[in-house]
Amino acid sequence: MQMTFTKTMIAAAAASLAAFGIASADHHKKDKKDIVDTAVEAGQFTTLATALTEAGLVETLKGEGPFTVFAPTDAAFEKLPDGTVETLLMPENKDKLTAILTYHVVPGKVKAADVVNLESAETVNGKSISIAVENGAVMINDATVTTADVKASNGVIHIIDSVLLPPSE
């Protein structure tokens, strides 16, 4: 099913997020730090930071960018079946971990207002994510954006409530 996004739908989604106290973090002026430092400072991305380190992606995401990162919280990682994170963090699973993490990154700076024109976006790993507004919430595949437009010096972070898993081959 294809959806056409309107400015009214995006405004409704933003209002819905604000109503739950999850308004855009745009005003926090965190854009002096890069994506990695911004996420680490937030304190709810310990698992993501560990995974980025194990996959060797920290320096990339500290690079010039711009990047758009759909960042799953520690609570999002806890939704995965028991043992999944530990298994992915093993050195022999680095390729799979890298594929999952790069599925959370879109090249360029895609702010919440930009989804008006998007139904999908190609990720750094080459596979596309779907973007939709459902019941006033912005959805990335099956994950809900809980906080949008967290500024960083090299891009933007959108906090999501689930880990995105790339489609299997």
3-state secondary structure of 147: strand
Q: Cα separation of 39 and 45, whole Å?
A: 6
Please list, in sequence order, all residues whose beta carbon lies within 8 angstroms of the beta carbon of residue 156, skipping any fewer than 6 positions away.
Answer: 66, 67, 68, 69, 109, 110, 111, 149, 150
Average pLDDT over residues 46-63: 95
Percent of the chain whose predicted confidence (pLDDT) is above 90: 70
Domain spans, the chain = 7-160
Average pLDDT over residues 37-49: 93
Query: Chain-wide mean pLDDT for the chain?
Result: 83
Fold of 7-160: FAS1 domain (2.30.180)
| Number of CB atoms found within 10 A of residue 134's CB | 11
The answer on pLDDT for 2 being more than 70 is no
Radius of gyration of the chain (CA): 15
Six-digit token string for 156: 């933007």
> What pTM was estimated for this model as a whole?
0.80
The answer on pLDDT for 156 being more than 80 is yes
Q: Cα separation of 94 and 51, whole Å?
A: 9
